[in-house]
Amino acid sequence: MPHVDPERLLHDAFAAAIDAARPSRCVPPALPPRPRGRTVVIGAGKAAAAMARAVEDHWDSDLGGTVVTARGHAVACRRIEVIESAHPVPAEEGRRAALRLLERVQGLGPDDLVLCLLSGGGSALAPLPAEGLALEDKQAMTRALLKSGAAIGEINTVRRHLSRFKGGRLGVACHPARLVTLAISDVPGDVPQDIASGPTVGDPTTCAAALAVLARYAIAVPDIVRSSLGRGAWESVKPDDPRLAGSLFRLVATPRAALEAAGVAAAAAGVRPVLLSDRLEGEASSVGRDMAHLARRVLERGDPCTPPCLLLSGGETTVTVRGEGCGGRNVEFLLAFGIALGPSPAIHAIAADTDGVDGMAPVAGAMWRPDTLQRARRLGLDPQRFLDTNDAHSFFGALGDAVVTGPTLTNVNDFRAVLIR
């Protein structure tokens, strides 16, 4: 293996993944032609403000509009209003922002253009509860779903049916204006209706499917949710709705493209990149243990590749929070990985969220080093106890191994890299 600083390589790969998804880089090439009429920019997500700034910097005619982003993710814009709200649990500021976005697209005609900017986090940042549903009830269900271990597709199925904004409803409100959505994907498979819960695209799922998710994870719901979903009163807009005909949906950044950029960084350092998958799902601890077994197989048998190599993966795992910790799927993955791996001087790893926030902690993720278990023992830290209590953030924080980036102003979800020398 060429002389490579393992930790530098992992950090460089992570930085390359984030850079590939920066709005200033990926938004301008996707901008549509200028309309004959007005241009209105709307958007929601952790990258929405940075995307809006990229539009402003490359738009040579008049425009205006509003976007909502997470607190700490705002970027100064000259012509587009930026609102901040809470994430991942929706807040009143977000509800008002959703109403503001709908207000922005009223009264437009066929010569006008609505440019909608979507990214991860948009579901929580623009919550407009269905008719008769209180925001407080939606907050309680969101908290329960986030702790339940439900997959993101299941959570978003529920979100689309508890909303007057998501599930194609914003898209319908834009009619008859021309609608172009630019999206940074943070979901496995880049499914349009799951990015910010698909406010501008038709939704093939049903009220019955949403009710089934709530029942599957034993989520307590108000009577109005059970009755309204049961009789289909809150059905979302379907893909064949004529009011969405002619609208365009463009992916400008994806998890796979980010992983490929990380692979280029690894190859430049003389290490073979192996892209396993950009859509891994499942319980974070289980995925971590599986990854440890794969790393061992590579190291001991050269299967499916020989060292030196960098195993890259993305997607969105889940954490069923049963302990007192705050979860965090990347750190939980990494701690389970390290425990299952055991002492191994030839393996380093990083797991972090590309938006800079893992779960509810303002920490992107963490680094696993060959001496992590040894250092933990010296400090009297029991790794398994931290894993059992879903408190991996505290474990890595005590060791000084947390990866802290601050808001990256983009979001292509989980990033995992395992270096085998």
Q: In what order do the strands lie in the sheet with 64-70?
A: 80-85, 64-70, 39-44, 113-118, 178-184, 248-253
Give the closest residue to 85 by CA, choosing from 153, 135, 133: 135
For residue 115, give both structure tokens: 């440019």
The CATH homologous superfamily for domain 6-17+256-420 is MOFRL domain (3.40.1480.10)
Handedness of CA 269, 188, 48, 178 (dihedral sign): positive
Determine if the pTM surpasses 0.85.
Answer: yes
Q: Give the CATH number of domain 23-128+163-202+237-253.
A: 3.40.50.10180
Domain ranges of the chain: 6-17+256-420, 23-128+163-202+237-253
For residue 49, give both structure tokens: 């403000």
pLDDT at 210: 98
Widest CA span in the chain: 68
Give the closest residue to 174 by CA, choosing from 206, 197, 199, 140: 199
Contact predicate 330/416, CB 8 Å: yes
Please state, as a whole number, how many other Cβ atoms lie within 10 Å of the Cβ of residue 147: 18
Q: Which residues contact 223 (CB under 8 A, 6 or more apart)?
A: none
pLDDT at 325: 85
Digitized pLDDT (tens) for each residue of the chain, 421 residues in all: 567 899 999 999 999 999 999 999 999 999 999 999 999 999 999 999 999 999 999 999 999 999 999 999 999 999 999 999 999 999 999 999 999 999 999 999 999 999 999 999 999 999 999 999 999 999 999 999 998 999 999 999 999 999 999 999 999 999 999 999 999 999 999 999 999 999 999 999 999 999 999 999 999 999 999 999 999 999 999 999 999 999 999 999 999 999 999 999 999 999 999 999 999 999 999 999 999 999 999 999 999 999 999 999 999 999 998 888 888 999 999 999 999 999 999 999 999 999 999 987 789 999 999 999 999 999 999 999 999 999 999 999 999 999 999 999 999 999 999 999 9
pLDDT digits (tens, 9 = 90+) for 167-226: 999 999 999 999 999 999 999 999 999 999 999 999 999 999 999 999 999 999 999 999
pLDDT digits (tens, 9 = 90+) for 71-93: 999 999 999 999 999 999 999 99
